[in-house]
Amino acid sequence: MIQSKLQHLNTLLDLDRSRLEDVLDLAAAIKREYKSAGASDALKGRTAAMIFEKPSLRTRVTFEAGMVQLGGAAINLDPSQISLGNRESVKDAALCLSRWVDAIIARTFSHKLVTDLAKHATVPVINALTDLHHPCQALALGQTLMEKRGKLTGLRLAFVGDGNNVANSLAELAAQVGMHFILACPKGYEQNPEVLKSLEPYFKRSGGSYTVTHDADAGVAKADCIYTDVWVSMGEEAQAEQKKKQFAGFQVNSRLLAKAPAECIVTHCLPAHLDEEIAQEVMDSERCVCFDEAENRLHAQKAVLLTLIDGGKPAAVVRGR
């Protein structure tokens, strides 16, 4: 199927609410189909190029396995070999790759690099994480909350920790679908003001809300889901000791969880630094759904691949028949 309009996934705002919900519905259908019938041939003969500047377990495996399970293939490109922006321009690389593959999946430090790839590519570009956004993680959470809570609209999502790239994408999810997003962080670690400003009309339209607090207990008091992430992101290792001291009161542990409603669930994008941002006892508890979310990365990303490469498919024809 030839797309009538090229679309990328640079941030979650690249999908309007209707298409975002369609992607989540498709992800659920793909998961059911895969559990009952196995792999598909929906993207038979299609290829994705993967450019990963940052280390990865979940993102690389789920995209590569996802392409294989849809009947396609993925090529992992060593960033030191292609050296985008040095050995050759981002524009030239994007134009060349567009002649050879059906999608470009990029996990980079610079968000601008993904934006520039999308500017010049004539195939879909998918943001697999940058320093500013992580839209695929937010989609996996959306799928997980639908499984655990049966809805997204009206839920209260408390992000406890640094206002980082994951927090930005989760706030975008909340703004799109009408969730109430609460960031609980130490002073000075709030989210990017430009990101928040861009979300104001989305929150207003959806009926969701955004709150920031510097009191972790207050942040989780009415939460349906508590989300956390590492305090020290990739590239910030020099700040590790300082941040550990500043975030000491923001660990997701049994004491903090007791401040939340009894039905509140907990999750983490992984990898976790146990007994730093999240306590071992919470990770091991029945209320922690981080491994369900990790599983859903596979199916949410397959839904993204289908939607962007082949224009999306109804659930009944996921298998390409």
DSSP assignments along 87-129, one per residue = TB-HHHHHHHHHHH-SEEEEE-S-HHHHHHHHHH-SS-EEE--
Read off the pTM: 0.94
Is residue 310 annotated as a catalytic residue, yes or no? no
pLDDT, tens digit, 9 for 90 and up, residues 80-91: 888 887 888 999
Per annotation, catalytic residue among 269, 290, 301, 310: 269
- pLDDT of 247 above 60: yes
The pLDDT value recorded for residue 310 is 80
Interatomic CA distance for residues 103 and 6, integer angstroms? 11
Strand ranges across the sheet with 265-268 = 209-213, 180-184, 156-160, 225-228, 265-268
- pLDDT of 313 above 60: no
Residues paired with residue 181 on neighbouring β-strands, in sequence order: 157, 210
- pLDDT of 312 above 60: no
> Which of 57-61, 77-81, 159-163, 287-291 comes out lowest in average pLDDT?
77-81
The pLDDT value recorded for residue 240 is 82
The pLDDT value recorded for residue 314 is 41
Classify 124 in phi/psi space as left (phi over 0), alpha (psi -120 to 50) or beta.
beta
Is residue 229 annotated as a catalytic residue, yes or no? yes
3-state DSSP assignment of residue 52: strand
What mean pLDDT value characterizes the chain?
A: 93
Residue 12 main-chain phi, psi, to 5 deg: -65, -20
- What percentage of the chain's residues is helix, strand, coil (to nearest 5)? 50, 15, 35
- pLDDT of 6 above 80: no
Q: Tell me the one-letter amino acid at 35.
A: K
CATH superfamily of 137-293: Aspartate/ornithine carbamoyltransferase (3.40.50.1370)
Query: pLDDT class for 237, splitting at 50, 70, 90?
Result: confident
Q: Which fold has domain 12-133+297-314?
A: Rossmann fold (3.40.50)
Residues of the chain with CATH 3.40.50.1370: 12-133+297-314, 137-293
pLDDT, tens digit, 9 for 90 and up, residues 115-147: 999 999 999 999 999 999 999 999 999 999 999
Per annotation, catalytic residue among 297, 299, 301, 310: 297
User: How many CB atoms are closer than 10 A to CB 187?
Assistant: 8
Is residue 297 annotated as a catalytic residue, yes or no? yes
User: How many CB atoms are closer than 10 A to CB 52?
Assistant: 19
Is residue 107 annotated as a catalytic residue, yes or no? yes
Per annotation, catalytic residue among 46, 134, 268, 299: 134
- pLDDT of 319 above 70: no
Classify residue 133 by burial, with Cβ atoms within 10 Å: 0-12, 13-18, 19+: buried
Per annotation, catalytic residue among 69, 137, 143, 191: 137
- pLDDT of 317 above 80: no
Per annotation, catalytic residue among 229, 290, 301, 310: 229
Is residue 185 annotated as a catalytic residue, yes or no? no
Is residue 321 annotated as a catalytic residue, yes or no? no
Per annotation, catalytic residue among 107, 111, 180, 299: 107
Q: In Å, how far are 40, 68, 140, 225 from 134, measured between CA atoms?
A: 26, 22, 11, 18
- Residue linked to tokens 């983490």: 268
Percent of the chain whose pLDDT exceeds 90: 86
Query: What six digits make up the tokens of 134?
Result: 């992580």
